[in-house]
Amino acid sequence: MKRLNAMSRTSRVNFLTYALVIAAFVVLQALSMGGGLSATLQGQLVPVCAYVVMALSLNLTVGVLGELSLGHAGFMSVGAFSGAVAASALQGVIPASGVRLALAMLIGAVFAGIVGTLISVPVLRLNGDYLAIVTLAFGQIIKSIIENLYVGVDGSGLHFSFLKPTVTLEQGGRMILNGPMGIPNIEKISTFLAGFLLILITLVIIFNLVNSRSGRAIMAIRDNRIAAESVGINITKYKIMAFSVSAALAGVGGVLYAHNLSTLTALPKNFGYNQSIMILVFVVLGGIGNIRGSIISAVILTLLPELLRGLSDYRMLIYSIVLIVMMIFNWSPKIKVWRESHPLFQKKNTESEA
Number of CB atoms found within 10 A of residue 232's CB: 7
Quick check: 72 and 58 in contact, CB under 8 A?
yes
Selection from 166, 172, 183, 317 nearest residue 255 by Cα: 183
CA 234 to chain centre: 26
Residue 203 near residue 60 (C-beta atoms within 8 A): no
354 residues of the chain, pLDDT tens digit each: 555 455 567 778 788 889 999 999 999 888 888 877 878 788 889 999 999 999 999 999 998 988 888 888 889 999 999 999 889 888 878 888 889 999 999 999 999 999 999 988 888 777 777 788 888 888 888 888 888 888 888 777 777 788 766 777 777 777 788 877 888 888 888 999 999 999 999 999 999 999 889 989 999 988 888 888 888 888 888 989 999 999 999 999 999 999 998 888 766 667 888 888 889 888 988 888 888 888 988 998 888 877 777 666 666 677 677 777 777 766 667 776 776 676 655 544 434 333
Can you tell me the distance from the alpha carbon of 163 to that of 181, in angstroms, rounded to the nearest whole number? Answer: 14
Strand partners, 70: none
Give the integer Cα–Cα distance in Å for 92 and 84. Answer: 14
**Closest C-alpha to 243, from 81, 122, 141, 146:** 122
Q: What gap in Å lies between CA 57 and CA 41, rounded to an integer? A: 24
Residues whose CB falls within 8 Å of the CB of residue 251, separated by 6 or more in sequence, listed in order = 75, 76, 78, 79, 80, 82, 83, 108, 109, 110, 111, 112, 113
If we measure between CA atoms, which residue out of 247, 242, 248, 244 comes closest to residue 214? 242
* CA atoms of 98 and 265, how far apart (whole Å): 23
Cβ(72)–Cβ(323) under 8 Å? Answer: no
Helices (H), 124-185: 128-147
The whole-number pLDDT of residue 345 equals: 56
Specify the DSSP element, H or E, that contains 94. none
Each domain of the chain, given as residue ranges in start order, spans 1-31, 46-271
Length in residues, the chain: 354
Q: Say if strands 174-178 and 150-154 run parallel, antiparallel, or are unpaired.
A: antiparallel
E strands, the chain, are 150-154, 157-161, 174-178
The 10 Å Cβ neighbour count of residue 117 is 16
Q: What is the DSSP string of 294-327?
A: HHHHHHHHHHHHHHTTT-TTTHHHHHHHHHHHHH
